[in-house]
Structure 1
Amino acid sequence: MAKNPLFLGPNIITIARILAIIPIVWLVMSGEGTLRAIALALYVIAAASDWLDGYLARAWNQYSPLGRMLDPIADKLLVGILIAVLAWDGSLSTLDMVPACAILFREFFISGLREFLGASKVVLKVSGLAKWKTTVQLVALAVVLLERLMPGLGLVSDILLWLAGLLTLWTGWQYLRASWPHLVQEQA
């Protein structure tokens, strides 16, 4: 009898990453420094779990359609919801909203593009640069969280956030370019 994919170790980690968003948001929104530090610690653990679940899936040969679907969603939820909360609490300046909005735009757009192409059985494989993009996004947001606890990090957080925004737009462009022939072909 096949194992229930819900109970595979990598999928449990991915689901835990999604569930961790709730306390992270609550702790950040509290506005209190100690609780923000706890939010940062939870966030770092959640972000690191993105690597861990993939490593364990490969090491234990525990792949499942559920895991392939949930893993990128978990990343996008963690990044997107944290951007919204950091914008809400004023951690992101007006200028920071440019790369933040670029990140959100690309993540929604490429998810929609993948869904649309999936109906045609076209798969956009995740590129190596897109994996780095996710890592830079996660690190940038950690530094933005940390900035309230260590105010001297403003320039570092700005540079990382803009780098994440540029990588995000570039990988979005790569996916759009790769999918373009499938978007403009004539239907038979």
Structure 2
Amino acid sequence: MKWTVPNMLTLLRLLAAPGVAVMFLYFQRPYADWYALLLFVTAAVTDWFDGYLARTWRQETRLGAMLDPIADKAMVVIALMVITGFSGMNPWFLLPATVIMFREVFVSGLREFLGDTAGTLKVTKLAKWKTTLQMVAIAVLFTTGVFEHNMLDRTLGMDTGMVDDIMAGRRADYVGLMWNYYAAMVAWWSGVLLLWLAAALTLVTGWDYLMKSLPYLKDET
């Protein structure tokens, strides 16, 4: 095994995947949301860099080819689990997230079954776009928690009536409640829309992989 710079970046991305969840165990929100967002975005950027460097420096290795898709899947699946937790099992989020996780498990199972012939399921350009869209959607969704908890922090010391008056426009909004509320809404629904688009691409690429694998799934006669 060759521990090249691209391979080390991929390994760091793999280790960052559980780190996103750990942020919510050791830090209070919204700090946990900020740290998880920064960790996730930084790790997602390395996904482009390690591939670019491996091609530019001609350092493409079997180890990197094995670790790269695992790191991508770990990042996406763990982040989706975390967002599911703080979204309160919102069905608009849960359905596309379930589709994405099901596809990842299904394709991984296909590759494991095919063994030496798994090369027939090479990552396509559409699959790369799918992964990129997933990561952008997740990053946007993480910002929702930041705005929500900024809003909660600004309501400390206020009673329900005061908060209602500010949100209804009957009182001046000196602390930015309305701004954070609308920012959270925009971030959430933008992220959900992107996730639905990613789920659609996930189904298309999953179906493509299934069709390519069918000849190898037939029993010998």
Q: 1:55 to 1:95 in 2, by over 3 A?
A: same
TM-score with structure 2 setting the length? 0.77
Name 1:187's counterpart in structure 2.
220
Q: How far has the Cα of 1:121 moved from its partner? A: 6.0
Equivalent runs, 1:17-96 vs 2, <5 Å: 17-29=13-25, 30-90=27-87, 93-96=90-93
Q: TM-score, normalised by structure 1?
A: 0.90
Counterpart contact for 1:102–1:169, Cα < 8 Å: yes
Gaps of 5+ in 2: 148-183
| Larger deviation, residues 175-184 vs 82-91 | 82-91
Task: Report how many residues are paired.
Answer: 183
Q: Does residue 164 of structure 2 align to residue 167 of structure 1?
A: no
Contact 1:14 1:49 in 2 (8 A): yes
Is 2:105 aligned against 1:108? yes
Partner residue in 1 for 2:140: 143
- State the distance in 2 between where 1:88 and 1:68 align: 32
Deviations 1:136-160 (A, max 9, x none): 0111111111112231322211101
* Partner Cα distance (2:79, 2:190) in 1: 18
Q: Which amino acid aligns with 1:138?
A: M
Distance 1:112 1:67 in 2: 20
Separation in 2, partners of 1:18, 1:144: 21
Pairing 1:178–2:212 present: yes
Cα distance in 2 between the residues matched to 1:121 and 1:44: 30
| Conservation of the 8 A alpha-carbon contact between 1:36 and 1:145 | yes
How much does 1:95 deviate? 2.4
Gaps of 5+ in 1: none
Structure 2 partner of 1:10: 6
